Structure 1
Amino acid sequence: MGNGDISWSCVRCGRAFGAARPDACVVCGTEAPSILGIPILTFRPHVSIDALRTQLATVPDAAQPVNREAVKRVLDPALAQTEGLPRRPIGTSDFMATRMAGWEDRFTYLYIDWTDTEEFRADRAFVLDAVLRHCPDRSVAAVLGCGAGGLVASLATAFPASLGLDVSLPHLLLADHLLRGGALSLQLPQARWRQVSMRGPTTPPRGAGFIVADAAALPFAPGSISLVVTQYLLDIAGAPTFIAREINRVLSPGGVWLNLGLPFRRSSDPPDAGLLTCDDMPAFLDDLAFDALEIRRRRAMFHDLSALDEWLPASVHSTIFFAAKKRGDLAPDPVARAFEGHAARRGTAILDMIPRLIAGRRIHLLEGWSFGPGGAKPRVELIAASGKSMSIPGPLGAFLRRLLSSIDGERTAREVLAAVGSASDDALTEDDFVVLLRTLMLRGWLEIGQTRPSAQRQP
């Protein structure tokens, strides 16, 4: 068994830090604050902190009284810690980083993982058995899309370091409260507001912890992780290939990737190609320098709340399980290198590349009205490339309309920035724009190609 040492790197410029992770990258300046021991290792960490402040401020309007009090008891200390951090402006270009699930949307995850449900017991036993059979090197495990963190606690019994990564700081703070032996009592809207009580382990697992991070931009140095688990993640990721490339990068030679989840689609797949299933996994993994160790269709419960309410149907899905071993390193991606080079101030090649909306992946902005007791209000609905919808403020809708209209497959990123920035209500810096482009690419909204031949470039 390994020693569980973690080797870090900067998510923006790729600078390797070793075991000593700094509070800010010495090359690109990206900050890495921690809230109650949970580091925020993303392109825009201040957005996660602002989201925590905003969500806590709106809890009284968004939650049942029982949930409101439970959430505030756990998260008020986190809010107090943010008071010592500088406040940074949130611009329209940060909209992708602010997309977070609501409070009650995620309470079900906590119930499943922390009340000894049959669903979680089955998943835990299945994963630990796969670890015993396929993962001889047990140094550092990382669970991407860790949800409520139950698997993180379980893997801590087999690994000196077990890390759970998710994009929602508020949700990870609740999960960490339980991981450390705390208690929560919540009412679940999906179970007709049944109240459930949860409590973490009497002895908190050593080496287990959480990180706010994007699965498509991992904060680990190359070759530093022995096991990666993706848990119902690839089907909700806009571009799962980017996640797979990151997993390949951070896994040690011969490291293992375990996946449990639903069928999924690559961003490059034609819209009528259907979802990838078990039959497609050997080729998918081989293209990404993985050797398949085991692939199977598994019938599994998913968010089964029937134990709380007999009128709720038991939910069983056909899922993809695979275990794959890293065969070798992938060739460096020139677009990723260009993004890292821009962050490290080594050049602006990324601005001379051409962003294109992905063929067949339409993005819809629907403008209309909503009606209620307060009267009529304008409403903008965004339906993203993944098919998920969300309501957005009107100014953001106008910004997205300008941005997406400017990405025509002919203009370089520099020309798109000039077109959008000149009409933007808030200051859109070059750095903000490049981070936004990178985020949209990792979410499967667009792809970025090489530069135009010099003879075709516009003046």
Structure 2
Amino acid sequence: MSIDALRTQLATVPEPDAGQPVNREALKRVLDPALAQAAGLPQRPIGMSDFMTARMAGWETRLPYLYIDWADTEEFRADRAFFLDAVLRHCRDRSVAAVLGCGAGGLVASLATAFTASLGLDISLPQLLLADHLMRGGTLSLQLPQARWRQISMRGPTTPPRGAGFIVADAAALPFAPGSISLVVTQYLLDIAGAPTLIAREINRVLSPGGVWLNLCLPFRRSTDPPEVGPLRSDDMPAFLDELAFDALEIRRRRAMFHDLSALDEWLPVSVHSAIFFAAQKRGDLEPDPVARAFEDHAARRESTILDMIPRFIASQRIHLLEGLFFGPGGAEPRVELSFANSKTTSIPGPLGAFLRRLLSSIDGKRTAREVLAALDPAVGEALSEGDFVVLLRAMRHRGWIEIG
């Protein structure tokens, strides 16, 4: 992930209004050192891939995760016991555990009691800075809008867990050597990921021989599945895992609370849902993904074929770019909005809206990536280098927008 994408995330830190001074001061205390460091790095215009990463991070909506994980909630105690029990039953090698999409990081700290090293990965730098602050024994007081801005206080462990840490990374491009991880945990990740199969391939790559994958998620859809097929459920997991060179150790449905904030406000609804749980063991290595290798070769400045491949929109996905006028108290304002599959509509800032329209129009399933880049020149001038464009293509593939071949 680029420095520019991380800087963009920090730049999107919301400025709480005067009604939430507690949030403003708490976020400022934890995030200001990172903002200061980012300010000293070389600057360049924010690109589309940086914007996509920042929007995916969506960290300002994740404040309740911190409460769930670090305020000794019943929900987290149940989740911690559930996963540690699964570790005891299925994991013989206790060297390195990795939690993908770790959010507030509570499970990372819990697994540190059973593994030599426990690493949490997430795409949101601000969220990980807050989680790391708590895991190192810090305190945090926040006002949660979901609970009518009630102030809640959290405190990390008196003795910080040894061997625990966080890494900003995309779950579809893990920064680990092949066969270096003993356990991978994914919790409510496959059901929100744009390309869950790419994530599963990465999990296979980084797991050691016989390594274990523990997953808990809602029914999910592969990006290439036609809409009429419906999402994959528990009874689809044996075939899904087998295709990815995993043997199922355990598959079942788990009913559990999800983001229960009723202890803060008795009027808040309590959500209990059914989730898919599986424990799977790596059976063998998959054949290398030629497209992923082409991206890696380009990044390493080796000879690469990526620009000669043809990007195509995935037939089952729907990308909508809406352009129009927004009418508010200040009059009419032009606005560009993007919606994809079941994701929320995202407003695209001015120059990026024009660029995105040109980009999406240029991907026609016939042009090579090099020809698509050439078609963008009149729209973006010198702002988009070949390297920036390849990074953007990779981000679009990881989001489940396109396939390349």
The normalised TM-score by structure 1 is 0.85
Q: Does 1:418 align with 2:379?
A: no
Instruction: Report the residue type matching 2:181 in the other structure.
Output: I
Q: Give the Cα separation in 1 of the matches to 2:39 and 2:383.
A: 25
Instruction: Report the residue type matching 2:236 in the other structure.
Output: D
Q: Give the Cα separation in 2 of the matches to 1:75 and 1:92.
A: 24
Match of 2:12 in 1: 55
Match of 1:326 in 2: 282
Instruction: Report the residue type matching 1:334 in the other structure.
Output: P
Shift of residue 444 of structure 1? Answer: 0.4
Query: What secondary structure does 1:422 align onto?
Result: helix
Match of 2:188 in 1: 232
Q: 2:221 aligns with which of 265, 268, 274?
A: 265
Q: Which is bigger in relative contact order (C-alpha 8 A, separation at least 6)?
A: 1
1:233-312 alignment to 2 at 5 Å?
233-312=189-268
Match of 1:45 in 2: 3
Which 10-residue stretch deviates more, 271-280 or 344-353?
Answer: 344-353
Query: Gaps spanning 5+ residues in structure 2: where?
Result: none
* Fraction of identical pairs, as percent: 81
Instruction: Report the residue type matching 2:7 in the other structure.
Output: I
Q: 1:150 aligns with which of 106, 110, 114?
A: 106
Match of 1:14 in 2: none
Shift of residue 380 of structure 1? Answer: 1.5
Q: Give the Cα separation in 2 of the matches to 1:308 and 1:95.
A: 34
Instruction: Report the residue type matching 1:49 in the other structure.
Output: R
Match of 1:372 in 2: 328
Match of 1:408 in 2: 364
Query: Gaps spanning 5+ residues in structure 1: where?
Result: 1-41, 450-459
Match of 1:95 in 2: 51
Give the structure with the larger helix fraction.
2
Q: Give the Cα separation in 1 of the matches to 2:200 and 2:127.
A: 24
Contact 1:352 1:412 in 2 (8 A): yes
Q: Deviations over 1:103-157 (max 9, x none)?
A: 5411100000001111101100000000000000000000000010000000000
Query: What secondary structure does 1:59 align onto?
Result: coil
Match of 2:141 in 1: 185
Q: 1:386 to 1:356 in 2, by over 3 A?
A: farther
Query: What secondary structure does 2:248 align onto?
Result: strand
Instruction: Report the residue type matching 2:142 in the other structure.
Output: L
Q: Give the Cα separation in 2 of the matches to 1:120 and 1:63.
A: 29
- How many residues align structurally? 405
Contact 2:4 2:50 in 1 (8 A): no
Query: What secondary structure does 1:331 align onto?
Result: coil
Q: Give the Cα separation in 1 of the matches to 2:19 and 2:87.
A: 39
Q: Deviations over 1:402-458 (max 9, x none)?
A: 111111111111111111123225521111111111110111000012xxxxxxxxx
Q: Deviations over 1:44-101 (max 9, x none)?
A: 122202421x134x42459822211111111122223334433343224533222245
Q: Does 1:344 align with 2:323?
A: no
Q: 1:433 aligns with which of 376, 389, 395?
A: 389
Q: Deviations over 1:326-345 (max 9, x none)?
A: 00000011111111122222
Q: 1:63 to 1:181 in 2, by over 3 A?
A: farther
Q: Does 1:202 align with 2:158?
A: yes
Contact 1:236 1:386 in 2 (8 A): no
Contact 1:385 1:445 in 2 (8 A): no
CA RMSD in angstroms comes to 1.6
Q: 2:70 aligns with which of 108, 111, 114?
A: 114
Q: Give the Cα separation in 1 of the matches to 2:345 and 2:281.
A: 36
Query: What secondary structure does 1:318 align onto?
Result: strand
Instruction: Report the residue type matching 2:157 in the other structure.
Output: P
Shift of residue 386 of structure 1? Answer: 4.6
Q: Give the Cα separation in 1 of the matches to 2:56 and 2:40.
A: 23
Query: What secondary structure does 1:423 align onto?
Result: helix
Which 10-residue stretch deviates more, 426-435 or 410-419?
Answer: 426-435
Instruction: Report the residue type matching 2:6 in the other structure.
Output: S
Instruction: Report the residue type matching 1:199 in the other structure.
Output: R
Query: What secondary structure does 2:355 align onto?
Result: helix
Contact 1:188 1:195 in 2 (8 A): yes
Q: 1:125 to 1:174 in 2, by over 3 A?
A: same
Query: What secondary structure does 1:312 align onto?
Result: coil
Instruction: Report the residue type matching 1:70 in the other structure.
Output: A
Q: Does 1:335 align with 2:317?
A: no
Q: 1:193 to 1:101 in 2, by over 3 A?
A: farther
Q: 1:368 to 1:334 in 2, by over 3 A?
A: same
Shift of residue 180 of structure 1? Answer: 0.6
Q: Deviations over 1:2-35 (max 9, x none)?
A: xxxxxxxxxxxxxxxxxxxxxxxxxxxxxxxxxx
Q: Give the Cα separation in 1 of the matches to 2:339 and 2:200.
A: 25
Shift of residue 369 of structure 1? Answer: 2.6
Query: What secondary structure does 1:99 align onto?
Result: helix
Match of 1:172 in 2: 128
Q: 1:401 to 1:279 in 2, by over 3 A?
A: same
Match of 1:9 in 2: none
Query: What secondary structure does 1:197 align onto?
Result: strand
Q: 1:228 to 1:93 in 2, by over 3 A?
A: closer
Q: Give the Cα separation in 1 of the matches to 2:337 and 2:62.
A: 22
Instruction: Report the residue type matching 1:160 in the other structure.
Output: T
Q: Give the Cα separation in 2 of the matches to 1:236 and 1:152.
A: 20
Q: Give the Cα separation in 2 of the matches to 1:437 and 1:207.
A: 35
The normalised TM-score by structure 2 is 0.96
Query: What secondary structure does 1:292 align onto?
Result: strand
